[in-house]
Amino acid sequence: MIPWLTDDPVFPPVSTALSEPNGLLAAGGRLEPQWLLAAYAQGIFPWYAEGEPLLWWSPDPRLVLLPSQIIVRRSLRKTLRNRRFDIRFDTAFSEVIRACAEPRGEVVGTWITPEMQSAYIRMHELGYAHSVEAWFEGELVGGLYGMALGRAFFGESMFSRRPDASKVCLVHLARHLEASGFAVIDCQMTTPHLRSLGAMEIDRAEFCAGLREWTVTGDPPGKWLTDRGE
C-alpha cells in the first residue's frame, strides 16, 4: 500500500517507495506549483495515465546526465556543425509540451495529460519550466522541456519530427546548463537512448543527497533568453 496525499504537499520519505513498480511513492495530492516544487526538491515527480489517480514516483536507481559528459557522436557532431536547426529557448513552451503529448507509433494514450500540460505551462509562466526548441524553415520540428530548480534540471519529455532534432536540443541544453553552473540533468528512468548519450545510473540516496545542495543555489527562476551563443 502507498499513502494517499490530501491537503498539504508533505511527501513520505523516498526510501519508502515501492520496488515494484520501481519508485511508486504516493497517490493523490495536486499538480499545483507548491506541490511540484516540493516534490522535485526531494527527487519526486508525477507520472500517471489518463483515468488513473495522480501518482508520485522516485525510482532507484536514478538516471542522470552530467552536462559536461554528454556524448556527441560523429553523425550528431556533423549535424551540429551544419547548423541545420535554429535552436531557441523558451519561445514556444506550450507547443513543445503539446507535441510531446502526441501519440507515437502504435502507443495509445499519453502520461502528459491535459492537467499535466496546464500544470507545467503554469510552472513555465512562473519561470521554473523551460523548453529547448529546434526550428527548421520556420517550423517547430523538435524540442524538449523540463523543470529547473537551483542547479538541477529535471528532464520531462522530448519529441522529434526530423532526424536528430531532439538530440540537438539536448546537446544545446547540456551546453547551456554547463555554462550556467548546473550540476545535473535528471533523466528519471533508464532508457538505452539516454544511456547512449552519456546518462548513467546512480543510487537514489546519492541523487537525493545531491539535490539538498543543488536545489538551494543557482539563479532565480525566469525565462531563458539565450543559449549563450551555442
Q: What is the pLDDT of residues 131-183, one digit of tens each?
A: 999 999 999 999 999 999 999 999 999 999 999 999 999 999 999 999 999 99
Percent of the chain with pLDDT over 90: 85
162 contacts: CB under 8 Å, gap ≥ 6: 85, 134, 136, 141, 142
Output the pLDDT for position 177. 97
Residue 59 to residue 44: CA distance in whole angstroms: 8
What pLDDT is stored for residue 173 in this prediction?
A: 97
Answer whether 176's CB lies under 8 Å from 224's CB: yes
Name residue 1's beta-bridge partners. none
Domain boundaries, the chain: 4-59, 63-214
CATH for 63-214 (2.60.40.10, 1.10.10.10, 3.30.750.24, 3.40.630.70): 3.40.630.70
CATH number of the 4-59 domain: 3.30.70.3550
Exposed e or buried b per residue across 35-47, where buried means at least 16 C-beta atoms within 10 angstroms of its C-beta? bbbbbbbbbbbbb
